[in-house]
Amino acid sequence: MLTEADLDALLAGRHTDPFGRLGLHADDSGRLWVRALLPGASEVALLDAGSKKHIVDLTQRRGGFFEAQVPRRKHRFDYRLAVRWAGGGEGVYADPYNFYPQLGDDELKAFAEGRNFRPFLSLGAHLVQHGDVSGVRFAVWAPNAKRVSVVGNFNNWDGRRHPMRLRHIAGVWEIFVPHAGVGDLYKFEIVNGNGALLPLKADPYARQAQLRPDNASIVAPLPEPTPLPRQRERANRRESPISVYEVHAASWRRGVSGEFPTWDELAEHLPAYVADLGFTHVQLMPISEHPFDGSWGYQTLGLYAPSARFGPPEGFARFVKAVHDQGLGLLLDWVPAHFPVDAFGLAEFDGTRIYEYADPKEGFHRDWNTLIYNFGRTEVRQFLIGSALYWIERWGVDGLRVDAVASMLYRDYSRPAGEWIPNIRGGRENLEAISLLREMNEHVGEVEGAITVAEESTSFPGVSAPTYAGGLGFHYKWNMGWMNDTLRYMAEDPINRRWHHDKMTFGLIYAFSENFMLPISHDEVVHGKGSMLAKMPGDDWQKFANLRAYYGFMWGHPGKKLLFMGQELAQRNEWNHAESLPWGLLEDDRHAGVQRLVRDLNKLYREHSALHRLDCEAGGFEWISAHDAEHSIYAWVRRDGTGRMVLVVCNMTPVPREGYSLGVPDGVTAWKEALNTDSAYYGGSNMGNGVAAAGLPVQAQPAHGKRLSITINLPPLATVFFVPI
């Protein structure tokens, strides 16, 4: 019989080796005993698993603990427990304590040594089959815990029912729970090293979770590997046109329920809309599970779970397919920079700071009241890299936009002197985070066609350079400097723009130092910054004209493009995450005109290789006029490296310029207007250069340092594109 000390420890939920006591065991005399801890049971009997024959009734000693000596058996055998519950009901169950360790020593050793970059295959909740018994294998990393149990609706949330086995090689706790299955709710009950019971913890590797305010993890199948469609591999390359439509899924268009749309509702409308507007990619703000709506997903606690706000995970799979069926790519915002302090999450997960840095000077973000991952710890690095690979390999998304990279790169990010810890070299760079990002990008880079994009706001060198060349290895970097400079310029009254002319040209000094993406993201239309239309000066006509001219400037400028949802509508109010976009604006032709312009800019960008093929190379750009501050005019030529060209001219004042001489490159006899943001079709004054088949003939008249020129009409507050005939 079990000793009273062992029994006390089991009933108190503090036994350090439950697998050594529960289940089938031989005593010192070689006699077999079977023991089960089943609080709430009134009767338990031992059955032979094969014949289903009754072997012996177990005796209840106290607190739901049952045991019996097994008659006539000398060797281990497969058995079942027939249980009658005190509250009514009965069943026959396999015993979780009759199964051997679930995880192999090799995979645990790889995890402990930092070599398992797909830890989601080992940890979390996995559906498994042992003979005729189906169930769920639960595994969680909690190296400093004294006891870990899995609790859920399959055991009445009783931590005494399923205490887990500690695999010392990796600090991983595991158990196979027979008869658990898809849809079961679960958490981990953890006793810390001091013997204190922690708040129940959600599974860091959960693939599905409850909708807030509930926060239990849900058993869900592991998605099958989903490779990118072959055409998507080519579409993500640097020489391809990449124009991204950024979406906050909860507020693009409200669902039938009036709150969150389902993945299927989004799949029905969003991809077709984005494709119709000519964008090449959809980018979703973070859709991994997060507790607070107002964080927009940027404070995530479920790096492996599509948010329950939009329905079950299988709906997300259908959404991904719908995006690809429209010929679009899908990028996800991915947040390895920080995580919230909610008690059910990663914070002090096993009673110690295993996911976050131990010292708040390293591990706490003042700006967001969040914690910072310990980027140097092997288990945390695998958790993060595994998440990146999970979304790409298992869901088939094209890539990740990595949020808040600057906050990862610098230890003194948003910290005053004395409130940060230098690196081992005495510097401010976070060497562990830099190493993590490089490693993550190298692994993602092994997936054919997949890309990563960095939101990085500093001048850190080589963000989009290969790791073998000393870079971070991202494929693209958001050009935050370009965005800030040009929006400050556009906010100026046109009469004052002559004094700020360099804000529009400065970006070309460094435009080819990285593979840049030009972002007009959600960050530019929140927190009192106003909408894009509201940023523009002047009366209503000038606001619309300024906005159209700016979009033309952006699409003509080197760099991939990104526009946040609603800006194609010329939204008047800044974005509100709790409301749907103001689709009714399209009933006003001025707003519909801006939408038509965005569609045509994307069409032009995609059709003319000169506007995208050398987006990231100096050979694809040449200034024609960069210094005409007096008239606030800019002109340049885009090239594709094979002889194709596009001329782009911007007039950033409300003064029309008729008969303007524009210098042009050699090799073309005539040019024609391809797009004019002042067209009446877009809501402009319709001043332009006609559509005559003969176009605008090149004249042997020098201008702008060129020996040839054309004479054009330059509309007020407009950008005009010309292509060779």
Q: Do 600 and 283 touch, CB atoms closer than 8 A?
A: no
Residues comprising the chain, all counted: 725
| 575-578 long-range contacts, CB within 8 A, separation 24+ | 575/248, 575/251, 575/522, 575/525, 575/526, 575/531, 576/251, 577/248, 577/250, 577/251, 577/293, 577/294, 577/296, 578/251, 578/293
Query: Would you list the DSSP string of 672-702?
Result: EEEEETT-GGGTS---S----TT-EE-BS--
Half-sphere exposure of 653 (CA within 13 A, CB side): 17
| End-to-end CA gap in the chain | 96
Non-local (6+) Cβ contacts of 221 within 8 A are 127, 182, 207
Structure tokens at 713: 């009409």
Catalytic residue among 348, 455, 456, 568: 455
Distance CA 63, CA 59 (A): 12
Catalytic residue among 403, 568, 574, 600: 403
| Cα torsion 295, 296, 298, 299: sign | positive
Is 455 a known active-site residue?
yes
Cα dihedral 175, 176, 177, 182, rounded to 10, equals 110
| Cα torsion 419, 425, 462, 339: sign | negative
> Taking the mean position of all CA atoms in its chain, how far away is CA 107?
27
> Taking the mean position of all CA atoms in its chain, how far away is CA 624?
40
Is 239 a known active-site residue?
no
Query: Would you list the DSSP string of 117-158?
Result: S-GGGTSEEEEEEETTEEEEEEEEE-TT-SEEEEEETTTTT-
Q: Do 414 and 365 touch, CB atoms closer than 8 A?
A: yes
Distance CA 412, CA 416 (A): 7
Distance CA 284, CA 248 (A): 6
Helices (H), strands (E): how many in the chain?
17, 34
> Taking the mean position of all CA atoms in its chain, how far away is CA 670?
47
Q: Do 662 and 704 touch, CB atoms closer than 8 A?
A: yes
- Token look-up 């995979």 returns 107
Distance CA 92, CA 463 (A): 59
Which of 477, 470, 459, 393 shows the shortest CA–CA distance to 435?
Answer: 470
Which of 339, 449, 348, 381 shows the shortest CA–CA distance to 115?
Answer: 381
Which of 596, 633, 641, 595 shows the shortest CA–CA distance to 616?
Answer: 641
Cis, peptide link before residue 271, omega less than 30° from 0: no
Angle, CA of 156, 159 and 163, to the nearest 5°: 125
| Cα torsion 297, 299, 303, 309: sign | negative
Non-local (6+) Cβ contacts of 341 within 8 A are 347, 369, 370, 371
Structure tokens at 103: 């995880």
Which residues are annotated as catalytic? Answer: 403, 455
